[in-house]
Amino acid sequence: MKEDKYCPCCGEKLSLFYLKQTCPNCGADLLRYNMEERLALDAQKAEAEVQALWRTVRKIDKARLVEKHYRKKGKPLPWEDAQADSSELPAVSEQNTNES
C-alpha cells in the first residue's frame, strides 16, 4: 500500500489522487511549502556529493595529473575542503608535484 499524503501545514489527510496545488482545508501551497529549507538541504547534499567525487578522483589519480594542472594554473585544489574530512588520504609533498 502506498504512503498516505498529508498537508504539511495543517496535517489533513489528502487523497492519493489529489493533484491540486493548494490544500482544500487551509489553502497552503503544497508545492512551495518550505521551499527555502528544501533548497538549502539540496545545496548541502550537492556540496557533499561534489566533495565525495573529488576525493574519489584524488584516490584514483596516482600520477597527480589533476594536482599538477591546478597548481600550474594557480588555482586552489578542489578537494582542499574535503581534506579535513578524510584523514586516510596521504599528504602530498611539494617535491612530488613539481616533478614533470
pLDDT of residue 48: 93
Q: Give dist(CA 47, CA 40) in Å, integer.
A: 11
- Written as nine digits, the cell of 90 is 596521504
Q: Work out the widest C-alpha separation in the chain, in whole angstroms.
A: 69
Is residue 68 predicted with pLDDT exceeding 60?
yes
- Written as nine digits, the cell of 20 is 491540486
Parallel, antiparallel or unpaired: strands 13-14 and 5-6: antiparallel
Beta bridge partners of 14: 5
Q: What is the DSSP letter of 13?
A: E
pLDDT of residue 3: 55
How far separated are the first and last CA of the chain, in Å rounded?
Answer: 61
Domain locations along the chain: 1-33, 40-100
> Over the stretch 24-60, which tens digit does the pLDDT of each residue have?
889 888 888 888 998 999 999 999 999 898 888 888 8
Is residue 79 predicted with pLDDT exceeding 70?
yes
